[in-house]
Amino acid sequence: MRPATEALIVIDVQNDFCPGGALAVAGGDEIIPRINALMREFRVVVLTQDWHPADHASFAANHPGAAPFSVTEMDYGPQVLWPTHCVQGSPGAEFHPGLATDPAQLVVRKGFRAAIDSYSAFFENDHRTPTGLEGYLRTRGVERLVLAGLATDFCVAYSALDAARLGFGVTLLEGACRAIDLNGSLAEARAKTLAAGVIWAA
Instruction: Identify the active-site residue in 16, 29, 110, 117.
Output: 110
Q: Is 110 a catalytic residue?
A: yes
Candidate list 16, 155, 162, 177, residue with the active-site label: 155
The dihedrals phi and psi of 87, each to the nearest 5 degrees, come to -75, 135
Residue 135 carries which side chain, given as an amino acid letter? G
C-alpha dihedral sign at 25, 30, 33, 39: negative
Catalytic annotation present for 155: yes
Whole-angstrom CA distances from 76 to 22, 96, 126, 183, 189 are: 25, 31, 5, 21, 19
Catalytic residue among 12, 29, 50, 117: 12
Residues labelled catalytic: 12, 110, 155
